[in-house]
Amino acid sequence: MPLLTASAALLPVNATLAWVLAVLLAAAVAVAALAKLTPDQGTSRAREMVTAGLRAAVQLVLVSVAIGWVAHSPTGLPVFLALMFTVAVRTAGRRITSDSTWWWTAVPIAAGVVPAVSLLLSTGLVPVTGITMIPVTGILIGGAMTATVLAGRQSLAVLRLRHGEVEAALALGMIDRDARVEIARSAASEALVPGLDQTRTVGLVTLPGAFVGMLLGGADPVTAGAVQLFVLVALMAVQAVAVATTLELIARARITDLPRHEKAPGPRPLRIPWLTPRRRTRPEQESRTQAP
């Protein structure tokens, strides 16, 4: 079945679609506002829903117009992929922290996506063409971004909540990095739960986008299922790397969430007894002053 015919039969693009989308968005905003689903600090979730819905509509229109040129342009493809990565880093960073360390989220996203995409390209499973690189890379970047945000927010929250336990671990002789890892590891691992649940329930509860898209494009169900399995397994690998890297960066105080006037705790200076002068206590200073 041709792609246009199948997609039109599934969801016709007309005024009715626009009306239904508006009703659904209004319902989401109304529920969030009535239930007061708002964080302790920050913008109202209802307002964020309005912004997100309108932004998604504008972005998808622009992408739909540009995708034909990007998919077949040797210069447009890397530019578009770089734009996707930049937006993901900015979004993840600002979701995790409000200070200047937000740009470190580029590390976990790249650490998860680059090896996976390189493996797919080197083995020939994914050809170097825009029509395949854009959706595959976009799915992986999106998965890494989501995992990074969840791991970062959960880790920083639990470190604030259990700050006393971190100090106790330091008092027992653990170094800063190890103490933070021990406290935040369990919270960071929660970022893997959505991906695991999606993989466990695929085909039984949900039919993900790659599977449905290939069916609409005319592929047989076996091929569509194989592609979807590949996407899910690649996502688990990407997200595992992203979560582990995010935890490490937070443990090393590369990603923090401090007010602007505070500095992130860095590594403690090395103190060598025979090179570092010993600070005298007040009684010692007074005795030296009173000595004849």
Output the pLDDT for position 263.
52
State the pLDDT at residue 239.
96
User: 212 near 87, Cβ under 8 Å?
Assistant: no
d(CA 118, CA 238): 12
- Positions in the chain whose pLDDT score sits under 70: 1-11, 40-43, 217, 258-292
Q: Domain ranges in the chain?
A: 1-71, 76-260
What's the pLDDT score for residue 234?
Answer: 92
**pTM over cut 0.95:** no
Q: Which residues touch 202 (CB under 8 Å, ≥6 apart)?
A: 208, 211, 228, 232
pLDDT of the residue at 289: 52
Interatomic CA distance for residues 122 and 125, integer angstroms? 8
Note the pLDDT of residue 42.
Answer: 64
Residue 96 near residue 88 (C-beta atoms within 8 A): no
CA distance 159 to 156: 5
Tokens of 212: 């449905």
201/116 Cα distance (integer angstroms): 23
Q: Which candidate, 219, 193, 182, 210, places its Cα nearest to that of 1?
A: 219
Residues in the chain: 292
CATH number of this structure's domain 76-260: 1.20.1640
Model pLDDT for residues 149-208, shown as the tens digit of each residue: 999 999 999 999 998 988 998 898 889 999 999 999 999 999 999 999 988 888 777 777
Quick check: 112 and 239 in contact, CB under 8 A? Answer: yes
